[in-house]
Copies of this chain bind each other. A is one copy, B any other.
Amino acid sequence: MSGKLTTKERLIHAAGEVFAEKGFRDATIAEISEKAEANIAAVNYHFGDKEKLYDAVWHRAFDLASTAYPIDGCLPENPILEDYIFSYANAILHRIFSETESGLFAKLLHQEMSNPTLALDHIAEEALMPQTRFLGKVVHLALEQHISEERIRLCMHSIIGQCAFFNFSRPLRKHVIGKTTMTENEIEQTARHIAEFSMGGLKEIQRIKHP
């Protein structure tokens, strides 16, 4: 069963599911072990304790997400500004709505945001800052010189917010529109919308400040 995976690998897979669904504290070693078809003591034998297992899951989640959906993954040859924003939004949305293990990162991040563990600092620096810098450059290009740093931050937040909110509104989507998934087409359409909407926003900000 579970192919030819080792117990250690099965534990990481199972732990990923449970940590993503319940968060670090609410996840129990008993449930993880059962789902991995391993003994209750297997976690402590292979990882030392629950926290080290959590670290291993995070490490795997980060690798999967960043290689499966890089932030500049769908840029055309000579990209215009909107292409950058589309690529950013498209990658983030894919990470959020992926139903494979690539979606693990977003779900773990959601849990960390409401109940942070020590892992968050490391993740923020390692995984989140690079894509924030990517977006920072884009917004900087979009706006003319001598626009305040604060305004740039706000515009970045507007774009990030549009994307990331999908990661946090999942339970509401289930309640309002009945499903929490998105097809490939829906994802691309949504990313396109965010790119268009944001380009309009950026133009408007520039127009207001430099009429």
Which residues of A are interface residues toward B (Cβ below 8 A)? 22-23, 25-26, 110-116, 120-121, 124, 128, 150-151, 154-155, 157-158, 160-172, 175-176, 189-190, 193-194, 196-205, 207-208
Closest to A120 in B: B171
Closest to A200 in B: B204
A107-B100 Cα distance, complex, nearest whole Å: 30
B154, A193: Cβ atoms closer than 8 Å: yes
Closest to A197 in B: B201
Task: Give the distance to chain B from A24, nearest Cβ to Cβ, in Å.
Answer: 10
Sorted nearest first, the 10 A-B pairs with minimum C-beta distance are A200-B204, A161-B165, A197-B201, A114-B114, A200-B201, A200-B200, A161-B162, A168-B168, A154-B193, A201-B201
B190, A154: Cβ atoms closer than 8 Å: yes
Contact of A171 among B113, B170, B197 (CB under 8 A): B113
B208, A204: Cβ atoms closer than 8 Å: no
- Provide 10 A-B residue pairs closer than 8 Å at the C-beta atoms, listed in order of the A residue: A25-B26, A110-B168, A111-B114, A121-B175, A157-B162, A161-B162, A161-B164, A164-B165, A199-B204, A201-B201
Task: Give the distance to chain B from A148, nearest Cβ to Cβ, in Å.
Answer: 11
B204, A196: Cβ atoms closer than 8 Å: yes
A124, B197: Cβ atoms closer than 8 Å: no
B115, A22: Cβ atoms closer than 8 Å: yes
Closest to A173 in B: B157
Chain B residues in 8 Å Cβ range of A124: 172, 175-176
Task: Give the distance to chain B from A54, nearest Cβ to Cβ, in Å.
Answer: 15
B164, A168: Cβ atoms closer than 8 Å: yes
A169-B170 Cα distance, complex, nearest whole Å: 16
B196, A200: Cβ atoms closer than 8 Å: no
Task: Give the distance to chain B from A122, nearest Cβ to Cβ, in Å.
Answer: 10
